[in-house]
Amino acid sequence: MQTTTLQVTGMSCAHCEKAVVNALTDLNGVKTATASAKTNTVEVTFSPETITLEQIKSEIKEIGYHV
């Protein structure tokens, strides 16, 4: 497992945080995700054998946020 913190802009409330967390935890290979609109960060723990960091970033962008 690998854990990384990404700078994500565009989140402004708890609903935004939940949207990011739900999208990421639905991905195969993502174990946990925590989002903070206050610090504009997303911490994600994932299996690099199953999913790449680029795929995770792509999912965040796809739901409307900037990485």
3-class SS of residue 6: strand
For residue 54, the SS3 value is helix
Tens of pLDDT, residues 29-42: 999 999 999 999 99
Q: How many CB atoms lie within 10 A of CB 59?
A: 19
Which domains are assigned to the chain?
2-62 (3.30.70.100)
Task: Write out pLDDT tens, residues 6-31.
Answer: 999 999 999 999 999 999 999 999 99
What CA–CA distance (Å, rounded) separates 48 from 8? 20
pTM above 0.75, yes or no: yes
